[in-house]
Chain A
Amino acid sequence: MSEISEMKVSKIKDGTVIDHVPAGRALDVLRLLNLTGKEGFIISLVMNVPSKKFGKKDIVKVEGLELESNQVNKLALIAPTATINIVRNYDVIEKKRVNLPDRIIGILSCQNPNCITRKEREPVIASFIVISKKPLVVQCEYCGRLMNEDNVIKQLVR
């Protein structure tokens, strides 16, 4: 984390630091993780801080919460460049990179109302192939319809 970022947000004792979030996406990250502020965690975020790698980035820190792997997988869809640092007693004990998998199973639902995966009583889990990582485009494995990044984000953070 750059010095300027550190100055803006202090270190946390225990919890998760989500770094290298694409600039402007920090609020979407909170929504995706269902963090409303009412849970009691101390949450700090900075947006649009300089980044050597990306020009600008956002950072989200959540004290008292260690992200689980299913939450990390979801993050890959809206913040594919993010790094997750798990902090205990001010030390980073684990670094996780979010990795966008080739297939996304059970996280997104197909936008096509006529897709078999949208029928409630059918035993089928929506799955998508990632056909482009940047910009994100996914394709339903059942009906073939495409979903772009904006629609993925809207669905995940609504």
Chain B
Amino acid sequence: MRCWTKRDVISVLDFKKDELEYLFSLTDKIIEEKIDVKKPLDGKIVATAFFEPSTRTRLSFETAAHRLGASVITLEPSISSLAKGESFADTMRMLDSYADVIVMRSPLEGAAKLAAEICEHPVINGGDGTQHHPTQAMIDIYTIKKIKGDLRDLTIGVLGDLKYGRAATSFMYGVSIFGVEKLWLISPKELMPRDDVLFTLKRFNVELHHTENINDIIGELDVLYVTRIQKERFPDPAEYERVRGTYQVDLKLLSKAKNSLIVMHPLPRVDEISYEVDTTNYAAYFKEASYGVPLRMALLMLIMGVYKDV
């Protein structure tokens, strides 16, 4: 296992199964209050720089940092020098001189990799365009493991926008790292994963199946990962109008599912999961969201090198 200290977190593909298991074991300890997490990052500064809207990712990182005793500085792109035309690279260089770790999000694919090349301090990717959302994938896998145990024998369906959705892409990579054997891709043809994503998935021993109709396969699934159609990333609004509202997960659909099925969603949702599902045993998405803070606390501790038991 590679040492976690000072590692950048750009893609979930940069991590091996045992490294992620180690992260999950620390997350368990934090949730079970088995370790003292009050001040391990006392005196450290965590910078958040989100060049795209975010609710959960930014706030859960900031909460995690505060809980660990770190100070947080937050870049507001709309009122910073970016608005004066400062480049992304110069902005990151400046943050690097202020903070001990940088959590960032950008609408541009590859921005996190560039930031990691520029910065001496570790960079955590909170989402880069349509490409990666590694910490969401870590939370997603952790959630499945907590509820289902081993991922290998599960049949997992990924529903919605598999072309532009970075959370869906990172989820597919993540479950593949954990040895999932069968993955159903459920989307309109226009929103199938890009060829580079399919190419990467083929490196794992995962059987990929595609359907446009979730009704055909809902009874087969152990996990249904639902994603929002990424309106903001469609180059053509007409294309978005054609596919919006294609799927809705409601009680009628779930009446055909296994009782043990769990429904996940990286959130925010728009209308793809009905509110009536929220109070059923199928709903795992709020549990999933609740793991955001402890898992990101564990991640910050490992990257900052303040937790070592190996």
- Chain B residues positioned under 8 Å from A131 (CB to CB): 199
Can you name 6 A-B pairs with beta carbons within 8 Å? A114-B129, A115-B108, A116-B111, A122-B89, A144-B131, A145-B109
Judge whether A146 is part of the interface by a CB distance below 8 angstroms. yes
Please state if A114 and B107 are interface contacts (CB–CB under 8 Å).
yes
How far does the Cβ of B68 sit from chain A's closest Cβ, in whole Å? Answer: 30
Please state if A115 and B195 are interface contacts (CB–CB under 8 Å).
no
How far does the Cβ of B196 sit from chain A's closest Cβ, in whole Å? Answer: 5
Stretch at the interface among A36-44, A74-82, A97-105, A135-143: A135-143
Please state if A142 and B113 are interface contacts (CB–CB under 8 Å).
yes
In chain B between 174 and 205, which residues have their CB closer than 8 angstroms to a CB of chain A?
194-197, 199-200
Please state if B88 and A119 are interface contacts (CB–CB under 8 Å).
yes
Judge whether B130 is part of the interface by a CB distance below 8 angstroms. yes
Looking at B109, B130, B194, B197, which has the most chain A CB atoms within 10 Å of its CB? B109
Please state if A115 and B199 are interface contacts (CB–CB under 8 Å).
no
In chain B between 89 and 133, which residues have their CB closer than 8 angstroms to a CB of chain A?
89, 106-111, 113-114, 117, 129-131
Bound together, the chains give a CA A143 to CA B109 distance in angstroms of 5
How far does the Cβ of A22 sit from chain B's closest Cβ, in whole Å? Answer: 24
**A145 touches which one: B107, B117, B194 (CB < 8 A)?**
B194
Bound together, the chains give a CA A122 to CA B199 distance in angstroms of 28
Bound together, the chains give a CA A131 to CA B203 distance in angstroms of 12
**Interface residues of B toward A: which range?**
20 to 34
Please state if A114 and B109 are interface contacts (CB–CB under 8 Å).
yes
**A122 touches which one: B88, B109, B194, B196 (CB < 8 A)?**
B88
- Leading 3 A-B pairs by shortest Cβ distance: A142-B110, A143-B109, A116-B110
Judge whether B87 is part of the interface by a CB distance below 8 angstroms. yes
Q: Which residue of A lies closest to B107 (CB)?
A: A114
Please state if A116 and B114 are interface contacts (CB–CB under 8 Å).
yes
How far does the Cβ of B72 sit from chain A's closest Cβ, in whole Å? Answer: 25
Bound together, the chains give a CA A12 to CA B189 distance in angstroms of 56
- Chain B residues positioned under 8 Å from A121 (CB to CB): 87
Chain A 127-158: CB-based contact to B (< 8 A → 1; otherwise 0):
00001000000011111111000000000000
- Chain B residues positioned under 8 Å from A115 (CB to CB): 108-110
- Chain B residues positioned under 8 Å from A146 (CB to CB): 195-196, 199
Bound together, the chains give a CA A121 to CA B109 distance in angstroms of 15
Please state if A124 and B89 are interface contacts (CB–CB under 8 Å).
yes
Please state if B108 and A116 are interface contacts (CB–CB under 8 Å).
yes
**B88 touches which one: A114, A116, A142, A143 (CB < 8 A)?**
A116
- Chain A residues positioned under 8 Å from B131 (CB to CB): 143-144
Q: Which residue of B lies closest to A116 (CB)?
A: B110
- Chain A residues positioned under 8 Å from B113 (CB to CB): 116, 141-142
- Chain A residues positioned under 8 Å from B110 (CB to CB): 115-117, 124, 140-144
Chain A 68-107: CB-based contact to B (< 8 A → 1; otherwise 0):
0000000000000000000000000000000000000000
How far does the Cβ of B185 sit from chain A's closest Cβ, in whole Å? Answer: 18
- Chain B residues positioned under 8 Å from A144 (CB to CB): 109-110, 131, 196-197, 200
Bound together, the chains give a CA A110 to CA B197 distance in angstroms of 16
Please state if B199 and A119 are interface contacts (CB–CB under 8 Å).
no
Judge whether A123 is part of the interface by a CB distance below 8 angstroms. yes
Please state if B196 and A145 are interface contacts (CB–CB under 8 Å).
yes
How far does the Cβ of A136 sit from chain B's closest Cβ, in whole Å? Answer: 14
Bound together, the chains give a CA A116 to CA B110 distance in angstroms of 5
Bound together, the chains give a CA A21 to CA B28 distance in angstroms of 60
Bound together, the chains give a CA A22 to CA B196 distance in angstroms of 27
**B87 touches which one: A117, A122, A139, A142 (CB < 8 A)?**
A122
- Chain A residues positioned under 8 Å from B114 (CB to CB): 116, 122, 124, 142
In chain B between 131 and 172, which residues have their CB closer than 8 angstroms to a CB of chain A?
131
Q: Which residue of A lies closest to B87 (CB)?
A: A121
Please state if B130 and A114 are interface contacts (CB–CB under 8 Å).
yes
- Chain B residues positioned under 8 Å from A140 (CB to CB): 110
Please state if B89 and A142 are interface contacts (CB–CB under 8 Å).
no
- Chain A residues positioned under 8 Å from B106 (CB to CB): 116
- Chain A residues positioned under 8 Å from B195 (CB to CB): 146
Give 9 new A-B contacts, CB below 8 A, not counting A143-B109, A144-B109: A114-B130, A116-B109, A116-B114, A119-B108, A124-B117, A141-B110, A142-B110, A143-B110, A145-B194
